[in-house]
A and B are shown apart, each in its own frame.
Chain A
Amino acid sequence: MNKTTLEDFDIEKISTDVLIIGGGTAGCYAAAHIAENSQYHVIVAEKADIKRSGCLAAGVNALNAYISDGHVPGDYVEYARKDAEGIVRDDLLLSIAEKVNDVTHDLEKKGLVILKDENGDYVTRGWRNVKINGENIKPILAENVYRQKNVRVINHINITDLKLSKDAEGRKVTGAYGFSVRERKFYEIDARAVLIATGGAAGIYRPNNPGFSRHKMWYPPFNTGAGYAMGIEAGAEMTTLENRFVALRCKDTIAPTGTIAQGVHARQVNSRGEIYEEKYGLTTPERIYGTVEEKRAGRGPCYLKTEGISKEAEDDLYKAYLNMAPSQTLKWLESGRGPSEDNVEIEGTEPYVVGGHTAGGFWIDTQRRTTVRGLYAAGDVAGGAPQKYVTGALAEGEMAAKAIVADLGAWSTKEKDNPASCTGTVQDGSGASSDNVKSEGKAAGNIFMRYVSHFNETGETVTCDQAEEAMQKIMDEYAGGIRCDYRYNEAGLETASDRLKSVRKLADKLKAEDMYGLLKIYELRDRLTVAEALIAHLYARKETRWHIFGENADHPEKDEKYSCYVNSVLEDGKIRIIYRPLVREHEYFHDKAALQNAEEDAT
């Protein structure tokens, strides 16, 4: 068999002002904002197609972050802080809360259907929720990007690594590398500023339905934590990864339960018909904790009590689910028994790392700058601000865009730079031998050769699927997955950490048949990097502050000593933990120490 070499691939080199990695909720909104408010050229690099990629692919059922009449942004901060037992960034939450209503109005202007009462006011569900038809929310955001003339969208390209350079002021991010998931083509993109908006990480733990329906999970199985992984490897500081997110879902279909619970006021009952939710509390983790505990006590299965709701309510539920989680409607219809006849069984999902629901992700300043110069983060990939949801992700996209425009302006006056234009050159691989690329920059050669190496592996026994299952099983059994009711202890975490190292070795030797195969291998690599960092964080918080999200069996109580953030940076291949005091101010700047950590060369 002929050996695959770099000559078998095209290499496209592009340079631009701003690169946005991930054209999802936050990424699309940021791209449009930069284009509307500056002359800068923007590239959006998206692994799928921005029209239906990421969390919003199926649609959403409500806008979960909105400040209704009679409430102020501070109420939101208060609520989210309390819900997270204090481990939040007040500055980030406040900046989001001050913006969610504006972005909601903007979405409506762009075509989102929002339910209104006879006075023309939004109909809210609770004080933080607006009712919508969110089926087409992603196409709306995407169309707004395509309207901008300074934005180039590159769909179907998977970004894997950040490009780092050094100048007089130290290390900074100056672009990224990736590959097309369709053609034999690699990309090197130079940019003066890079926004990471790749969403959170699913698929780290063994999922609820590990067989045929293994991807029937809550969080998109295609958001694999690439942004966290790239950031970690670039030496960026991460925060609060140990604050995992677990969702309470309809059993099997993993469809949302909030719509039933709030829509028809269904209560959580055990198999004896006893309402148990009051016993454990009503926050998300408490609702799941209650469900787990009732089962452990032999009183499962657990349900949402819907029996007896009207046929009209049942029809409304069918429709609501078709707009966001169609499998639930299908399940009701095909079983021939709807929610008016049968209670809806519920379960907790596998844990995810997702900074838009809980607080794990990049450690950023109030403007959404990460600890590495030139790199910004927004949406689920950014840490410190739980419960940001769609509107919060949009708000963060806009804030990051503002910071980028301001910083580029300031740097330009400093450097007397001409703004780069958004032109690209395509070289065919035969011109760019590996030596040639090396001379362009060592990193590009190394990264491209790493891609190529997977085409030359034999992959005789171990496939990517197997390696992924191995990782998920390890995380499930030793790092607090579904199988152990989300509990973990130090001995188990050590075992997990150890075994993941073997999976990492397997991942290096996996064979790619084509570009899609390479994508799968890199998705696994992302997840492994996130899993390793997650374990270090779980280990470092020696308490149980949140049921389910962080159920530490060695330290089952809350400990005031840990009223701080657990942060981490990767240095010389080792994860270093940093405990940081809580930020209650309304503005936060990275301190010298944080930036210095990031300046140190990780390579």
Chain B
Amino acid sequence: MSVMIDRAKCIGCGRCTDACPGNLLILSEDGKARIREVRDCWGCTACMKNCPVSAISFFLGADIGGNGSHMSVKRDGFLYKWTVKLPDGTDKIIDIDSRSSNAY
């Protein structure tokens, strides 16, 4: 899996570049974030959770079953709103309340 950055949304704040445990994200010359090497992403989603404008989404490589969907997250108080965009254009949304623990 890896991440992709929506350049139109990115405001160049650099938070994702600090958050990545692998130092994989950097700001390009034009001030927008980019990933150095797509194959090096661990998939921890730390960058996504730190992005103030939800510009980052992650996807599965075809080698592990990816079919063109991608997923993003938006923070709203205690809620994480995860949105999966499927290739057919439909969305699936899952809300996670960070105050409640895993059922399992």
Contacts and interface: CB of A to CB of B under 8 A. Distances in A.
Given A54-B21, A330-B71, A316 B63 contact: no
B46 interface: yes
A341 to B, nearest CB: 15
A327 B63 contact: no
Interface string B79-91: 0101010100000
Nearest to A316: B103
Nearest to A331: B65
A319 B23 contact: no
Contacts of B68: 334
A319 B92 contact: no
Contact of A320 (B44, B64, B104): B104
Contacts of B44: 52, 57-58, 220
A334 B39 contact: no
B2 A132 contact: no
A7 to B, nearest CB: 25
Contacts of A220: 21-22, 42, 44
Contacts of B1: 213, 216, 253, 327, 330
Interface in B12-27: 18-23
Contacts of B98: 113, 133, 135-136
A516 B23 contact: yes
Given A131-B102, A135-B98, A58 B45 contact: yes
A131 B66 CA distance: 30
Contacts of B22: 48, 215, 220-222
Contact of B99 (A62, A113, A322): A113
Interface residues of B, number: 46
A270 interface: no
Interface string B58-84: 111111111111010000000010101
B63 A212 contact: yes
A282 B42 CA distance: 29
B104 A264 contact: yes
A263 B38 CA distance: 33
Between A133, A181, A213, A329, the greatest number of chain B beta carbons within 10 A of the residue's beta carbon is seen for: A213
A53 B23 CA distance: 10
A259 interface: yes
Contacts of A131: 101-104
Contacts of A156: 23
Contacts of B60: 213, 252-253, 327, 330-331, 334
Interface in A62-112: 62
A196 B30 CA distance: 39
B96 interface: yes
Contacts of A132: 101-102
Contact of A326 (B23, B38, B45): B45
Interface of B is mostly: loop
Contact of B101 (A48, A113, A318, A326): A113
Contacts of A484: none
Nearest to A252: B64
A215 B41 contact: yes
A221 B40 contact: yes
B104 A48 contact: no
A568 B98 CA distance: 45
B19 A51 contact: yes
B43 interface: yes
Interface string A314-352: 001111101101110111011100000000000000000
A444 interface: no
Contacts of B7: none
A57 B64 contact: no
B40 A212 contact: no
Given A220-B42, A326-B45, A333-B84, A125 B50 contact: no
Between B20, B42, B65, the greatest number of chain A beta carbons within 10 A of the residue's beta carbon is seen for: B42
B92 A316 contact: no
Nearest to A214: B39
Contacts of A318: 94
B21 A52 contact: yes
Contact of A253 (B46, B64, B67): B64
A326 B102 contact: no
A552 interface: no
A145 B95 CA distance: 30
Contact of A322 (B38, B50, B67, B80): B80
B94 A329 contact: yes
Contacts of A325: 43
Given A51-B19, A322-B94, A329-B94, A216 B104 contact: no
A46 B7 CA distance: 29
Given A133-B98, A326-B58, A516-B23, A259 B104 contact: yes
A54 B18 CA distance: 13
20 contacts: A48-B21, A52-B20, A57-B21, A113-B98, A115-B101, A131-B104, A133-B102, A134-B102, A135-B80, A135-B98, A181-B23, A182-B23, A211-B63, A220-B22, A252-B60, A259-B102, A260-B104, A319-B103, A330-B60, A334-B67
Among all A-B residue pairs, the 3 with the closest Cβ atoms: A263-B104, A212-B61, A334-B69
Interface of A: 47-49, 51-54, 57-58, 61-62, 113-115, 123, 125, 131-136, 155-156, 181-182, 209, 211-217, 220-222, 252-253, 259-260, 262-264, 316-320, 322-323, 325-327, 329-331, 333-335, 516, 519
Given A115-B101, A252-B65, 20 more contacts: A49-B19, A51-B18, A52-B20, A54-B21, A57-B21, A113-B98, A132-B101, A133-B101, A133-B102, A211-B63, A214-B39, A263-B104, A319-B94, A326-B71, A327-B64, A329-B94, A330-B71, A334-B65, A334-B84, A334-B86
